[in-house]
Amino acid sequence: SSELTQDPAVSVALGQTVRITCQGDSLRSYYASWYQQKPGQAPVLVIYGKNNRPSGIPDRFSGSSSGNTASLTITGAQAEDEADYYCNSRDSSGNPHVVFGGGTKLTVL
Amino acid sequence: QVQLQESGPGLVKPSGTLSLTCAVSGGSISSSNWWSWVRQPPGKGLEWIGEIYHSGSTNYNPSLKSRVTISVDKSKNQFSLKLSSVTAADTAVYYCARGHTAAGTHYYYYYMDVWGKGTTVTVSS
């Protein structure tokens, strides 16, 4: 089955731009979706599809994709963006399974 | 606005069966969505367990398939998870979530837009 690979940790200075990446074969067929999870809370969808934000998600969050790599970009990171971020898609290898990346811990300095 | 609420025992004995239910409110479980279970062991990442469509069709994580059963009760607008032969490794926060699958122009997309708050299940004697 397909896997999604994320860097375990990324840091960004307050107000700067950060990109979190997700790699996997399924991303050649599926857009990644991205979730933000803060300690003790359920994941929250922040990006889905080509580059769509659910209602209430700030426009500093954006998504992009190229080949087998999807990216979540936060432009002008805020202190409240410090969280774990997970990417997700279906497995494209003929199996209808759902896969998650291992998660990226974002620290805002 | 659709909301999901997990319920079930917070403590399960080793070798026993974990049973959880996810109640769907504010919408119908018979909508065109897949309904998933996701878990998160302490300090670790998210793991997809499986999903069900209102027709009863299911997909399971291959690593858990032999122990997992997901079912739907349309009359109660809820779906359930059973995980058998549990061990300490099954200790986790268990979430239910609503999933969407669709086809775009060149890509497919899948996302989970509504999540329950999660329920902690501990496997211990």
Distance (Å) of CA A24 to CA A1, A59, A91, B33, B91 = 11, 26, 9, 24, 28
Q: Is A105 on the interface with B (CB under 8 A)?
A: no
Q: Do A29 and B95 touch (CB under 8 A)?
A: no
Type of residue found at A83:
A
What average pLDDT score do residues A36-54 get?
97
**What is the average pLDDT across A81-102?**
92
pLDDT of residue A1: 53
CA–CA gap between residue B14 and residue B100 (Å, rounded):
34
d(CA B12, CA B34): 27
| Residue in A with minimal Cα distance to B104 | A49
- Count other C-beta atoms under 10 Å from residue B25's C-beta: 11
pLDDT above 70: residue A2: no
What is the tens place of the pLDDT at every residue in B51-93?
A: 999 999 999 999 999 999 999 999 999 999 999 999 999 999 9
d(CA B32, CA B25): 15
Give the closest of B100, B110, B117 to A42, CB-based.
Answer: B117
Residues of A with Cβ-Cβ distance to B118 under 8 angstroms: 42
Query: Measured between beta carbons, which residues in chain B are less than 8 angstroms from residue A89?
Result: 109-110
Place of tokens 């922040």: A46
Distance CA A43, CA B47 (A): 12
With cut-offs at 50, 70 and 90, classify the pLDDT of residue A94.
confident
Q: Contact B108/B101 with Cβ under 8 angstroms?
A: yes
Nearest CA in chain B to A30: B108
What burial class does residue B97 get, using C-beta atoms within 10 Å of its C-beta: 0-12 exposed, 13-18 middle, 19+ buried? buried
Does the structure show a pLDDT above 90 at A61?
yes
Residue B101, strand partner residues: B110
The residue whose two tokens read 């940790």 is A9
Q: What is the pLDDT of residues A11-41, one digit of tens each?
A: 999 999 999 999 999 999 999 999 999 999 9
Q: Is the pLDDT of residue B104 over 90?
A: no
pLDDT digits (tens, 9 = 90+) for B13-46: 999 999 999 999 999 999 989 999 999 999 999 9
Q: pLDDT above 90 covers what percent of chain A?
A: 92
Check residue A99 and give its pLDDT.
95
Do residue A44 and residue B115 have CB atoms under 8 angstroms apart?
Answer: yes
Determine the residue among A98, A99, A104, A105 to mutate to test chain B binding: the one whose Cβ has the most chain B Cβ atoms within 10 Å: A98
Produce one character per residue of A94-104: b if its CB has 16 or more CB atoms within 10 Å, e if not. eeebbbbbbbb
Asked whether the predicted pLDDT for residue A97 surpasses 70, the reply is yes
